[in-house]
Chains A and B, each alone.
Chain A
């Protein structure tokens, strides 16, 4: 039973980390808490669902399509809402507020388009078959989620750390004016970052939607509350921090529900958030403070 709980914790922690990666990336580069992230998450799941049901695509192809649709939506929405504010150098709060209005608008539109009810992906072996790994029961999609997190982290580090493109992105994140003077096309790079971040959101939406069989317009909102806790605890903009904080929160939640009391489960992430704000406001690894300075 303890092994099963440990596996439950690993899956939930991976879910949180997967959700938070793109979210913290947006902040790291665009310097914006992009509340539309929850919308990209849900939009990816809905687009993949439509690809499965209307176009008859397989789950993997539909998942990629859903993530790509979310990525394009990300480029469009971020471009419309944030570019203008960036041009006028409005402070971060204006950007936060404008994405707040945007997410309210888009979620309500999604609800009037698709209804508020919960939907699920069709029953397939990938979603509903149960594998017995010794004493642990797991579904294939849970294993995919657990594997997707290190893969996504490795890809992000390779992109940001090893490529010229990554160097340009980092330059834009640290000193946008200098980067522009050095001939970096800042607008195109920001659009690329929006795409990558929203692609990650959409992909996470598909995987998490398949795993929990709960696709609905407000699925992103429910995750956003956890997402805030993860990216603040991990340090705003810190990818490693988001990974550690996501896994840690999943572990604490499952162990609280499994061995203490499930009534306290929901309070765990927010208690951690408030503790983190008191004790380690710059994030687990203190990176946020260094970057802000």
Chain B
């Protein structure tokens, strides 16, 4: 895999010459705990690919700390709290990693964040969007924009275009991700003065939404606002259209997935969501990344790969600024991050969350494809 990535990068002109400097130097070990198997594997695998691509690029340019290669140690959590804990404990105490990346799910971070914090090892979540992640402790960072940052941008764009006054809200109430998305929707709608005519819930494994949707149909609202994972979301969108609810459907991060159009087919047109990055993003950096990613893996990257890719560069730069691998020094250096990546300009807030929402793109599905909403 490494060689194909390097070949891809070389082909893109990202790599000037193959390095040989790092070979003698001791590598800097960084642990990455991701859900590489199980139901969340589609996120975890995309994230690993983003990391691997960035790692190859960083080492091809001579590594970090004056020539030491950055070595990634992957551990599979299977999206399971217990396995994530075992993996993090092993990476810290047996492999002596200097920093940790991941884990994939917010629930896993709630379980392992305290461990990294206890040992003073910085841990950076690249895909955790739930509330309260960085409140775990001073060594817990995230580069993923929480839903509380993305959703207001999405709602503002949709409200301006469709003159929303009254909406109905549906959300999955048995999942941390979709519940926290719902809370942000509710609060943001309240601040914007948009009335919520009705709130309905469903659960992760539900396949029948007809009762809730029929009830909403009788209320005459301007749009549906949905916080769901892509799989339930696709079925929900399709059933809404079948019941004649031809309204704009505004989703959270879960809707920013090709799965929606795959399941709902033509019914997915008009689904609006916001995302920190999307594959059609029109700038040179993103285009080069998409081309390199395609060459290495044979398919398009998603936002999770892009976030992972940016994060490894942010971490590498922090190592160089810290001048060593000490946890406390690295944490201080991370806080001074000021860079520009695929997702746009990046800095951390004092609370170790991303500081800027400049990079957020609001998209709508048209003919099965995500295009910018305007």
Contacts from A to B (Cβ < 8 Å): 1, 4-5, 8-9, 11-12, 15, 116-118, 120, 123, 128, 130, 137, 139, 208, 212-214, 216, 218-219, 222, 253-259, 262-263, 265-266
Contact = CB atoms under 8 A, between A and B. Distances in A.
A120 B262 contact: yes
Q: Which 5 A-B pairs have the closest CB atoms?
A: A257-B211, A212-B207, A8-B210, A222-B205, A254-B211
Given A137-B242, A213-B238, A8 B211 contact: yes
A139 B208 CA distance: 14
Contacts of B214: 1, 4-5, 8, 258
B207 A214 contact: yes
Nearest to A221: B205
A240 to B, nearest CB: 24
Interface stretch (B6-14, B36-44, B148-156, B271-279): B36-44
A127 to B, nearest CB: 9
A118 B263 contact: yes
Contacts of A139: 242
Nearest to A209: B207
B173 interface: yes
Interface residues of B, number: 34
B217 interface: yes
Interface string B189-231: 0000000000011110111101110110110000000000001
A258 B202 CA distance: 12
Contacts of B366: none
B265 interface: yes
B210 A128 contact: no
B201 A11 contact: no
A137 B207 contact: no
B274 to A, nearest CB: 23
B167 interface: no
A128 B200 contact: no
Given A4-B243, A212-B235, A117 B215 contact: no
Nearest to B267: A128
A105 to B, nearest CB: 17
Interface string B229-261: 001001100100011100000000000000100
Contacts of B215: 1, 5, 257-259
Contacts of A117: 42, 231, 259
Among B210, B217, B259, B263, residue most surrounded by chain A Cβ atoms (within 10 Å): B210
Contacts of B201: 262-263
12 contacts: A4-B214, A5-B214, A8-B208, A8-B210, A117-B259, A118-B235, A130-B242, A130-B244, A137-B242, A212-B208, A258-B215, A265-B211
